[in-house]
Structure formats: structure tokens, C-alpha cells
């Protein structure tokens, strides 16, 4: 993340009742906090000299004081996370770094403090197009591979996984002498152009052991672009919409589900599992 300007608040001292032990919650103790607010764009107050075009340190202090003073968490990690979430909710910073120091930690020894530092970034707002992706695989740990592929995709700074269908199990299509497939459809938003998205998908396939030797053959992972909002493509490496969507019930059924449309049925497509994907909490990467 590129940052230009930073506001610092150092050695804020608040009394709170955060701690694992009953006496810590009962008696309380002082905690010291360091806070950094990062801004991806230059602060306008540098030129205007107007408080409304910066962040009021007093407002930051008052909000953090109210949270810390009333906290009853076990761990300072939880306290630091709560402070970070509060600041991102209330101020136009792109990221925050919070350090919580515990000078009176109940440890038999000499030390200045025990502490933790966390950094949290504001989730990017995507203004790109909606894309529907088909996912499938029939080798190895099928469900785990599909889940991790979505996590890998969602970690990309220009991609957000918006919704995922249930999992469905089907017999292989094309070359039938192979294990059954698990299939799903994901709705994503992305500012990547279609060919860049295709490259990202193929990189994720390779990461999970996809080998392209036999057309319609067994595979650990298959990621297909099915539809892109207001987009039609007819190129040697990419056709959008996918030319065989309507031939494949294992695509049409989860696609209808993730679009919120009536879901049909097919004897060859067996419901397998719902609510199988959990979004990643990892930092976005290029």
C-alpha cells in the first residue's frame, strides 16, 4: 500500500480492565497506546490550513478513550483490533497502525511493557464489472481446493468475491471415465480487464496443480469466465459469454442460484453442500 501522509498519536495513557485474570478485570490497570493514521492521498490541510480537511486529534483521542476505558476484553490483541476498526469506521484514513502496551502485565520479571502492534487497511471499493466464474475439480481434496482457489482470488487487490453458490456434484462431462466433479459458481467484482483476469485464474489453477494435457480430462481445478457484465468477447483465448453454458446443467443450476433466480433441477446434478466458502481475512496483494 502506498501512503503519503501520516498522523501520529503517541503514548496515549488510559485506565482499563483488560486482562485474562479476574484481578485484572476487577482492579484494572493503565495501558499506553500509539496510533498512526495513514492516508493514501495528501492531506488537503497542508495547503488549506483548515481543520475540516484533516483529522481532529481531539476526536481521535476521545473515541479511543471511550472504547479503551469501557473495554472488558481478555487480550490486548482484541483491544488493538477494536481500536483499529473504530478508527477506520470514523475517519477517512486508508490504514491504521495501533500499538497497545501493557506496563503492568502480571509477569514475574523486569520489563518496560508487554505489547502488540497490528495494522489494518481499509478494504478497497471496487468500481469494476460483475463477473460470474465457474469452478470445478475432481482430483485430490476437491472442496478444499475450490475453497482455497476462491481465497486466493479474493486476496487480489483488484478482485472481490461477492457471492458463491452451493456445491454440486456431477459425473464428468466430455471424457466420462474419471472421478465425479464438484462444481460451483462465484460472483465477483473486479477492475481487471478480462484478459488480465484470465491470466490470474490460470495462475491460480497452476498453483493448485492444474495440468492441461487432455481436453475435458481429470483436473484438480478448473476456473472459467462464464459471463462479464455488459461484455462480449470473441478471441482465440477467451469467449464471453462462455459458449457452452447452456449445455451444462452443472453450470446453469449454480449460476441461477448465485444470481438469485429460480433454480432448476437435473438428475445428473446432485446437491452437495451449502455455505462451504468463508471469505479470506488476509491482506490484499497484487
Give the max Cα distance, the chain.
72
* CA separation for the pair 244, 222 (Å, rounded): 15
pLDDT confidence of residue 235: 84
156: phi then psi, degrees, rounded to nearest 5 = -65, 135
* CA separation for the pair 92, 7 (Å, rounded): 12
Name which of 211, 231, 207 is nearest 219 in CA terms. Answer: 211
Report the alpha-carbon angle 269-274-276, nearest 5.
115
Percent of the chain with pLDDT over 70: 91
Q: Each residue of 198-219: pLDDT tens digit?
A: 999 999 998 888 765 555 557 7
Sequence ranges of the domains in the chain: 5-121, 129-273
Q: Each residue of 216-268: pLDDT tens digit?
A: 557 789 899 999 998 899 888 889 999 888 888 999 999 999 999 998 889 99
Residue positions annotated with a catalytic role? 102
Q: Each residue of 48-100: pLDDT tens digit?
A: 999 888 999 999 999 999 999 999 999 999 999 999 999 998 998 989 999 99
pLDDT confidence of residue 286: 64
196: phi then psi, degrees, rounded to nearest 5 = -70, -40
Q: What class does CATH assign to 5-121? A: alpha beta
* CA separation for the pair 187, 218 (Å, rounded): 25
pLDDT confidence of residue 3: 58
Residues 246/262, Cβ–Cβ less than 8 Å: no
Q: Hey, CA dihedral for 93, 95, 100, 101, is it positive or negative?
A: negative
Q: Each residue of 151-181: pLDDT tens digit?
A: 999 989 889 999 999 999 998 866 667 888 8
Provide the pairing of β-strand 238-240 with 114-121. unpaired
Other C-beta atoms closer than 10 Å to the C-beta of 72 total: 10
Pick 129-273's CATH classification: 3.30.70.560, 3.50.50.60, 3.40.1350.10, 3.40.50.300: 3.30.70.560
Amino acid at each position: 500500500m502506498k501512503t503519503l501522509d501520516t498522523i501520529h498519536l503517541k503514548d496515549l495513557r488510559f485506565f482499563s480492565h483488560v486482562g485474562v485474570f479476574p484481578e485484572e478485570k476487577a482492579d484494572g490497570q493503565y495501558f499506553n497506546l500509539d496510533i498512526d493514521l495513514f492516508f493514501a492521498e495528501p492531506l488537503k490541510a497542508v495547503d488549506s490550513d483548515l481543520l475540516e480537511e484533516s483529522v481532529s486529534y481531539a476526536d481521535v483521542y476521545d473515541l479511543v478513550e471511550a472504547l479503551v476505558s469501557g473495554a472488558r476484553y481478555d487480550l490486548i490483541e482484541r483491544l488493538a483490533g477494536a481500536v483499529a476498526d473504530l478508527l477506520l469506521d470514523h475517519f477517512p484514513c486508508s490504514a491504521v497502525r495501533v500499538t497497545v502496551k501493557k506496563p503492568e502485565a502480571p509477569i514475574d520479571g523486569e520489563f518496560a511493557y508487554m505489547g502488540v502492534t497490528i495494522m489494518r487497511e481499509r478494504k478497497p471499493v471496487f468500481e469494476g464489472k460483475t463477473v460470474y466464474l465457474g469452478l470445478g475439480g475432481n482430483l485430490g481434496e476437491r472442496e478444499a481446493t475450490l475453497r482455497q482457489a476462491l481465497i486466493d482470488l479474493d486476496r487480489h487487490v483488484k478482485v472481490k468475491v461477492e457471492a458463491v453458490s452451493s456445491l454440486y456434484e456431477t459425473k464428468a462431462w466430455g471424457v466420462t471415465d474419471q472421478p465425479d466433479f464438484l462444481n460451483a459458481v462465484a460472483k465477483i467484482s473486479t477492475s481487471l480487464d478480462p484478459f488480465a483476469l484470465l491470466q490470474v485464474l490460470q495462475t491460480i489453477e497452476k498453483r493448485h496443480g492444474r495440468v492441461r494435457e487432455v481436453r475435458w480430462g481429470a483436473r484438480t481445478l478448473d476456473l472459467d469466465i462464464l459471463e462479464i457484465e455488459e461484455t462480449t468477447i470473441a478471441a482465440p483465448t477467451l469467449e464471453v459469454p462462455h459458449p457452452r453454458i447452456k449445455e451444462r446443467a452443472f453450470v446453469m443450476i449454480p449460476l441461477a442460484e448465485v444470481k438469485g433466480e429460480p433454480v432448476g433441477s437435473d438428475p445428473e446434478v446432485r446437491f452437495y453442500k451449502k455455505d462451504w466458502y468463508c471469505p479470506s481475512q488476509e491482506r490484499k496483494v497484487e
